[in-house]
Amino acid sequence: MIDPRPVRLEWLLIIAMLAVVSPASAAGIHQHGQAEAAVVVEGDELMVTFRAPLMDILGTESAPVDAPARVRYDNQLARVVPPEPSAEADCELVHSTVSTVETLFPTTGSVEAGHDHDHDHDHDQHQDVENEWTFSCGSPAGLRKVTLPFLQTFSRLTTEVVLLLPQGQSALKLSPGETRIPLE
């Protein structure tokens, strides 16, 4: 059977290549206060990726020290909610991959009685939150904007956005607190 969405792998490769050539990541720099996003529209599909330093989302890059800390971290990561495409585009979220405490700080042991038994206490990690959302849009011609509502919550982030749209490629920068990505 032929994959009905063979282009998706190409999207990921293009986004990865664009991330490599962006000024912030060209030298492998992990810069607090700087986030990256990509918006890809092809046919009736919309894909949005978002990447930001963990410090800007959690306020720390240290592994949680106990079960209550893991819950607090998960609650904070859950605030990076899915993007909101234009209502006129009639888009439905069909797939997402989001950073969680378990993906960022996997445990090999158990967390019992307030002690993490895996003893992975590397407090000098520079990690990023990396989320991806894919939508299927019933009326893609109505896709005029994508809003990243969580940028209001994490209002200190400046976000570099790469756009891969049917009409061409471009880039823009969202100022801290700005949430709307125009697609026209």
* Residue 130 included in any domain: yes
**Residue 27 lies inside a defined structural domain of this protein:** no
Candidates 145, 147, 141; CA nearest to 166 is 141
In a domain, 114, yes or no: no
Q: Which residues pair with 82 in a beta bridge?
A: none
Please state the pTM of the whole predicted model: 0.79
The pLDDT tens digits along the chain (184 residues) read: 333 444 454 554 455 444 444 444 433 456 789 999 999 999 999 999 999 999 999 999 899 999 999 999 999 999 999 999 999 999 999 999 999 999 999 986 544 444 444 444 444 567 899 999 999 999 999 999 999 999 999 989 999 999 999 999 999 999 999 999 999 8
Q: How many domains does the chain have?
A: 1
Q: Which residue range forms the structural domain that includes residue 174? A: 33-109+120-182
Alpha helix (H) ranges present in 22-157?
Answer: 23-26, 54-58, 67-77, 101-104, 150-153
